[in-house]
Structure 1
Amino acid sequence: MGKKIGPSIYIPTDKNIYDALQHKKVKQSDLVALLRRRNILVSPSLDKLELSIMISGLTIDYEDFIYITKLLENPNRKEKTTQSSVKAQVSDDEIKKACKMLIDADISDDTFKIVKSDSDTISLVVTYTDIDFTKTELRQRAIKKCEIEIQRENGELTFRMPSNEKAKTITSKLKENLSQVKGEELEEETISLENFIEAEARSYFFDRLINLVPGYSFENVSSVDVYHSIDSLDDDEDELDEEQAGRFAGYIRKAVLAGNGVLESAEFNQLHARGFFISKIVWTCDENVTGGNRVEFEAQFGTPSSCTDFKYLVRGIYNYNDRTQEHNVTRRSALPKEIKKLNILLEQAAKLSFEAVEKKY
């Protein structure tokens, strides 16, 4: 069955155009350039408001529409990564067959591409349209790419993908297809502390994580999110009786601590003693080589109440300066190959940390 593809019938109104041009990403020079493309010359001294009113009163053609929407795009937005794995001996042909089953069953406008990255890795790249109705009309539709990396190693299949619903849905279908191809139910493994309800156990996971990144030494924690849950609140907040409501009236569920040496601060220790546990952490590690760089990581559980949906991010790198013999104070973005390498190291640290929690608690 072929995909249903057709032209868009959306036509922006003058208000849609005006609202879009008021966004902070759109600069005054962009509006002058747009008018110049229409052979309309204006004074560069005109402010953004005047130019927006002028442009929104014009008839906007397709080229203008594309120009404006591109001004509103945010291609550099960093998205956290998540991963899951299954115990299975799977060949490249079986992975490709599962991918093709997903593609053949898809009836959306999404486009798919299967890429062989290396001898043990196959990537499924999906280009799709993301719609967010909370944004203004011209920013509701955004073209995005989602890359799901499937890596084979030591009898284990690892799925590495962006931490969003689109990637999770596609990955779930891929696993179902692989089960059909293999003719057996695949055992899935994820990093989850749902079965460890003790606050100490959940914080201990992050304590181990920041110290177990292979090839790196812990340097400092700059930010921590702590969370506290009460079973009766989590189970049914709407059905609390009057007595319970009074008891939890001044209840604080979560807090964010930022600064230098957060884990050693009196505030953190006080919250920790009251049953709060770490749900998100930002820290830096130094590479264990002479002149090695400093890396800033972030890790968290997307659902802190149950400590599920583990995801992580390489926030950036502080290069080592040979002249000053110190790390630069300005952080740079990590290169794709650096991100791939560091994500794998983070995953290894997370698995070791989870095993440490299992052993201790």
Structure 2
Amino acid sequence: MAMTDFLDHLSANDNDIYDLLISGKQKLTSSVLRELARDRGILYSPEDSREELADKISLLPHDFHDISGIVQKREPAHRREKSTFVRINSVLTVEEMKEAAAAYSVLSGPNETVTHRPKGGSGYNVNLVYDEFNHTRTRLLQRERREATIDFSIENEQTVIRLPASDKAKAVVAAIKDAVEKKRKEKLVEEKIELSGLTTPSLRSKFFTRLVSSLEDYKLKNVMNLKVSSLQRGDDQDEDGLDIEDDLGESAEKAMFAAVVHSMSLSGQNLVQSQEYKELTSRGFFITAITWRSEHEREPNDIVQFDAGFEDRKAGTGFKYQVQGVYRAHKGAHRKTMVHTDDLERTKLLSLLENTAKKVLAELLDESNATTTSEPEEQP
């Protein structure tokens, strides 16, 4: 490698800094860019456009701390990753989990830190801090410091593993599971939420409509967003995401999806009786992800915003979900700002979501089996 290439690898030139400034439109607004300049004692004209400000600032000298400050302003506020879970039909002991986690820790990479410890009487916790590279981003943002917490808990004589829905976390769980299997000299049977056994669009969508309306002690309040797909579409087609606050355009599909959203918000499971829903499923469309709000029917009557979907929308595999936040009840109404839950509340809500998904899937598989052994498929 030439010396100039080596220095370019370690430093940020004006083009890199410009790309960094200009790519963060939502966070690095014109007012923020002027603030960066004022911190250096420089006042730019209020007539300067955002592009002109970014160009001028990029030409100024920047040290490491300057760049770090811009990156911090540029990056969006921390969002919790979506979660997934694996249920193993066997009880893993604390000692087994400790040995497997320690074995993984020894083999972990140089840019990875692994800590692990018992949690409660029978659970275990594994925490990862690692570097992840995203080469589609501007050069100064390609390296991301990530953190993942993996929780092992014993519930109903089974081991439930909750983890971020990321490739890294899944690889760690697979390594730990493999280590336990080698120690036991037997295969651990996994139980996952997958829709591969639901072969019709109607049944696929019913999974979501029942999920949002079957949470114990919660009442469906509103559906915020839907994603849909079709078995007739090519794999390179993107999902259609619907936000009821956005302009839905003029397509027939989007008009139907809008009707689905509003009907679901009002009637929950009764949605399946609507003409729009029947037409939607008859054309091969089905729901693949959903964001919704449910209100707790007991005190406190908080409103929780959930999200659930599948990584592989057509195969119905890779179930991932999230508690996005809570609108706290206050004096007969609700706060206007959504706040994060603490770890204990979040764990309870995730467990509720997991158990409801498991129950709904079992019901639909039974219905599907009953249908195939009797009359033609039931109408939605």
Indicate conservation of the 8 Å contact 2:112/2:131, yes or no: yes
Q: CA deviation at 1:306?
A: 1.0
Partner of 1:241: none
Evaluate the alpha carbon distance shift between residue 281 and residue 31 of structure 1 in structure 2; reply closer, same or farther with a 3 A threshold: closer
Once the two structures are superposed, residues 8-49 of structure 1 have per-residue CA deviations (whole angstroms, 9 ceiling, x without a partner) of 953212100111112222245655565566xx4112656554
Once the two structures are superposed, residues 156-207 of structure 1 have per-residue CA deviations (whole angstroms, 9 ceiling, x without a partner) of 1111111121211222112112212322211111100112212232223223
2:334 matches 1:334? no
2:47 matches 1:41? no
Evaluate the alpha carbon distance shift between residue 179 and residue 32 of structure 1 in structure 2; reply closer, same or farther with a 3 A threshold: same
**Aligned with 1:104 (options 100, 103, 106):** 106
Matches within 5 A, 1:236-251: none
Matches within 5 A, 1:1-361: 9-22=9-22, 23-24=24-25, 25-28=27-30, 30-31=32-33, 34=36, 40-43=40-43, 47=48, 48-230=50-232, 257=258, 259-262=261-264, 264=271, 266-322=275-331, 325-328=332-335, 330-337=336-343, 338-361=345-368
Q: Number of aligned pairs?
A: 335
Q: SS of the counterpart of 1:260?
A: helix
Q: Within 1, Cα distance between the matches of 2:144 and 2:187?
A: 36
Indicate conservation of the 8 Å contact 1:225/1:280, yes or no: yes
Q: Within 2, Cα distance between the matches of 1:54 and 1:318?
A: 42
Indicate conservation of the 8 Å contact 1:280/1:301, yes or no: yes
Q: SS of the counterpart of 1:210?
A: helix
Q: Within 2, Cα distance between the matches of 1:34 and 1:294?
A: 39
Evaluate the alpha carbon distance shift between residue 145 and residue 298 of structure 1 in structure 2; reply closer, same or farther with a 3 A threshold: same
Q: Within 2, Cα distance between the matches of 1:291 and 1:14?
A: 53
Partner of 1:245: none
Structure 1: segments with no counterpart, 5+ residues: 1-7, 238-251
Indicate conservation of the 8 Å contact 2:98/2:117, yes or no: no
Aligned letter for 1:116? P
Q: SS of the counterpart of 1:89?
A: coil
Q: Within 2, Cα distance between the matches of 1:348 and 1:300?
A: 15
Q: CA deviation at 1:56?
A: 2.1
Q: Within 2, Cα distance between the matches of 1:84 and 1:17?
A: 42
Q: CA deviation at 1:299?
A: 1.2
Partner of 2:376: none
Percent identity over paired residues? 28
Q: Within 2, Cα distance between the matches of 1:266 and 1:315?
A: 32
With normalisation by structure 2, the TM-score equals 0.78
Evaluate the alpha carbon distance shift between residue 112 and residue 203 of structure 1 in structure 2; reply closer, same or farther with a 3 A threshold: same
Indicate conservation of the 8 Å contact 2:205/2:287, yes or no: yes
Aligned letter for 2:153? Q
Evaluate the alpha carbon distance shift between residue 260 and residue 321 of structure 1 in structure 2; reply closer, same or farther with a 3 A threshold: farther
Indicate conservation of the 8 Å contact 2:87/2:161, yes or no: yes
Q: CA deviation at 1:307?
A: 0.8
Structure 2: segments with no counterpart, 5+ residues: 1-7, 238-252, 369-380
Indicate conservation of the 8 Å contact 2:326/2:341, yes or no: no
With normalisation by structure 1, the TM-score equals 0.82
Indicate conservation of the 8 Å contact 2:305/2:326, yes or no: yes
Aligned letter for 1:178? V
Once the two structures are superposed, residues 123-174 of structure 1 have per-residue CA deviations (whole angstroms, 9 ceiling, x without a partner) of 2111111211111111211111111111122321111111121211222112
Q: Within 1, Cα distance between the matches of 2:58 and 2:208?
A: 51
Q: SS of the counterpart of 1:261?
A: helix
